Amino acid sequence: MTSNTQFVNPRMAELPDYPFERLRGLLDPLAPPASLDPIALSLGEPQHPYPDFVGEILHANRHLYGKYPPVAGTPEFRQAAADWLIRRYDLPQGMIEADRHIAPCAGTREALFRTAFIAVPPEKARQRPAVLMPNPFYQCYAGAAIAAGAEPIFVSALAENGFLPDFANLDESILARTALVYFCTPANPQGAVADLDYLNRLIALSRQYRFTLVVDECYAEIYNGAPPPGALQACAASGDQDLSGILVFHSLSKRSNVAGLRSGFVAGDPEMLTLYRRLSEYGGNPSPLPVYAAASALWRDEEHVVANRALYAEKFDLAERVLSNRFGFYKPEGGFFLWLDVGDGEAATVELWARAAIKVLPGAYLTTADNTGNGNEESPGDRYIRVAMVHEKAVMEDALARIAQTL
């Protein structure tokens, strides 16, 4: 049989294995104890309830499923998103205009991926463009860089640098050809939050080297203590309201526990958003009109968000009681993951499944060898496991006890 690889885009071979495919390969051959109910803490899929009005609005607008939805979304959705940004980040009136600075998306993964095709040119500084990202990284970032023809550069986010990558310390030869930087705050999986000073320095770096800065803020509404600042807020605080080259991404999946609704938005540079909408006309997947209606209501409601945040706070307090002083435990500033140092993340994952019916994700599946040329080629996640604190408190109490006993 003749191989058809000669007819396939060779970049496909560069795509890293997706973490959950690797996890299935690791754990599927093993049987968890029959006496224990399995608990999946590997996937960041919120299990908290969402507001009842979501179903009511979808039902009331069900007749609109017969219409093609507009790629640009509805005026109501764009205005709700703009109003939320202004409230949440205390932005000056006029800085965000609904019809210029907002573009909807069917979940931010799709939008994060598609942005690379807008932001990455064929060459930068007469070389293959580079796309920088934190390491650990969201696989979508790396996949987008490769699909767009760029080289992904993995910048380690370690405990010693507060789990915030030091992009500015990279060699000039890398920064000169950088076309795009992906950055996530609060970070997945470490929960680190970038302050305004860090964000302003990163924005200044993007101006200096003329790259697009993509700030993934999808966990911004789940936090302990002060609300995490955002990139648009950093621009406003510095007195620089020029959003050229700056894009931020927000989603309802974590904020409102509606991962299946598939609704989010991109905000920032109006010229890039024009290109984003143009590209979406060709390959986009706009949300149905009933979804836009429900999403608009969710962005305008804060009560359910406050209640959701309180549920996570209770569970992190519980984790602190159960795991404190072990596995490098710390209470993350934001997000809903624990990033535990267990010595060998893959071995611990096997042990937890085989002995305790607990499914977690090895940190090695979210990281890769450092390729910045700094002399340290180790993968920064090998010692860790990621634990998604997504179930109700009683389930998490059982799960955390099993983790502590098993490890």
Q: What is the pLDDT of residues 131-160, one digit of tens each?
A: 999 999 999 999 999 999 999 999 999 999
Q: How confident is the model at residue 375 (pLDDT cuts 50, 70, 90)?
A: low
109-122 average pLDDT score? 97
Residues of the chain with CATH 3.40.640.10: 52-301
User: What tens digit of pLDDT does each residue of 233-258 get?
Assistant: 999 998 888 899 999 999 999 999 99
The band of 9, judged by pLDDT with boundaries at 50, 70 and 90, is confident
Residues 98 and 313 sit within 8 Å (Cβ to Cβ) = no
- Give pLDDT tens digits for 276-293: 999 999 988 899 999 999
Domain 5-49+304-406, CATH among 1.10.4030.10, 3.40.50.80, 3.90.1150.10, 3.40.50.1010: 3.90.1150.10
pLDDT per residue as tens digits for the range 278-334: 999 998 889 999 999 999 999 999 999 999 999 999 999 999 999 999 999 999 999
Confidence category of residue 125, pLDDT binned at 50, 70, 90: very high
Residue 3's pLDDT band, with cuts at 50, 70 and 90, is low
Per-residue pLDDT band at 4 (split at 50, 70, 90)? low
Cβ contacts of residue 376 below 8 Å, gap of 6+? 156, 370
Residue 29 has pLDDT above 60, yes or no: yes
For 305-343, give one letter per residue: b (16+ CB within 10 A) or e.
beebbebbeebbebbeebbeeebeebebbbbbbbbbbbe
Rg of the chain taking only CA atoms, in angstroms? 21
Distance, in Å, from the CA atom of 382 to the CA atom of 181, rounded to the nearest integer, reads: 24
| Distance, CA of 11 to CA of 293 (rounded, Å) | 39
Give the contacts of 353 (CB within 8 A, at least 6 positions apart): 27, 30, 32, 359
pLDDT tens, 52-78? 999 999 999 999 999 999 999 999 999
Cα 155 to Cα 73: distance, rounded to the nearest angstrom: 35
- Mean of pLDDT over the chain: 96
Tell me the per-residue pLDDT of 195-215, one tens digit each, with 9 for 90 and over: 999 999 999 999 999 999 999
CATH of domain 52-301: 3.40.640.10
354 φ, ψ (degrees, to nearest 5): -70, -30
Give the pLDDT of residue 321: 97
Which pLDDT value is given to residue 317?
A: 98
What is the 3-class SS of the chain, one letter each residue? CCCCHHHCCHHHHHCCCCHHHHHHHHHCCCCCCCCCCCEECCCCCCCCCCCHHHHHHHHHCHHHHHCCCCCCCCHHHHHHHHHHHHHHHCCCCCCCCHHHHEEEECCHHHHHHHHHHHHCCCCECCECCEEEEEECCCHHHHHHHHHCCCEEEEEECCHHHCCCCCHHHCCHHHHCCEEEEEEECCCCCCCCCCCHHHHHHHHHHHHHHCCEEEEECCCCCCECCCCCCCHHHHHHHCCCCCCCCEEEEEEHHHHCCCHHHCCEEEEECHHHHHHHHHHHHHHCCCCCHHHHHHHHHHHHCCHHHHHHHHHHHHHHHHHHHHHCCCCCCCCCCECCEEEEECCCHHHHHHHHHHHHCEECEEHHHHCCCCCCCCCCCCCCCCCEEEEECCCCHHHHHHHHHHHHHHC
Phi first, then psi: what are they for 332, rounded to 5°?
-65, 150
pLDDT of residue 2: 53
Mean pLDDT, residues 119-127: 97
Indicate if the pLDDT at residue 1 is higher than 80.
Answer: no
Q: Name which of 51, 47, 59, 84 is nearest 296 in CA terms.
A: 84
Count how many residues are written for the chain.
407
Ranges in the chain annotated CATH 3.90.1150.10 = 5-49+304-406
Phi/psi region, residue 257 (left: phi>0; alpha: psi -120 to 50; beta: rest), is: left
